[in-house]
Structure 1
Amino acid sequence: MANTFIKDFIRDEHGHWVAVLACGHTQHLRHQPPWQSRPWVLDPAQRAAMIGKTFHCGWCAQGLDNDTLGA
């Protein structure tokens, strides 16, 4: 399953936003122009609007699960 949805957001130990995905994986979502343009992640209302939205999980696309991520 490469497509999943966003369940929640948490912050990592450095204060960066991390999407918690329904598949069990997580994904950092940073706004660092020009490399990563995600201004919505900085706004609480826009971030909340993304909960439940479809998200492409790169870990799932590679066929990895939580037991094999470190392998």
Structure 2
Amino acid sequence: MKTSTIIGWRQDEEQHWVVVLSCGHTQHQRHQPPWQSRPWVLDPEQRQAKIGQPFDCGWCAQNADSANLGN
């Protein structure tokens, strides 16, 4: 899996948090217990602390083209 870096955050139209990666891809980071437990994503300081951290990009692992993903 290709490791990218977290460069920012945005929210989608449903107000779910989306991580923006250095490779150009994005990935939802939802907190929807019990399926997805990421309470830190709801805290602005904890999200900010993730910027600059490595992130395994599943899209890159699939050789996906950013232009075709509808970021």
TM over 0.5: yes
Which residue identity is paired with 1:39?
A: P
Cα deviation code 1:14-69 (max 9, x no counterpart): 11100000000000100011111111100010010000100011000111121444
Find the aligned partners of 1:14 and 1:34 in 2 and give their Cα distance: 19
For the aligned residue pairs, the C-alpha RMSD in angstroms reads 1.5
SS of 1:55's equivalent in the other structure is strand
Find the aligned partners of 1:50 and 1:69 in 2 and give their Cα distance: 23
Task: Detail structure 1 runs of 4+ shifted over 4 Å in the superposition.
Answer: none
Find the aligned partners of 2:8 and 2:23 in 1 and give their Cα distance: 12
Specify the alignment match of 1:23 in structure 2. 23
Find the aligned partners of 1:21 and 1:67 in 2 and give their Cα distance: 14
Specify the alignment match of 1:53 in structure 2. 53
Find the aligned partners of 1:48 and 1:10 in 2 and give their Cα distance: 11
Gaps of 5+ in 1: none
- Aligned pairs, number: 70
Gaps of 5+ in 2: none
Which structure's residues are more often helix, by fraction?
A: 2
TM-score, length-normalised on structure 2? Answer: 0.90
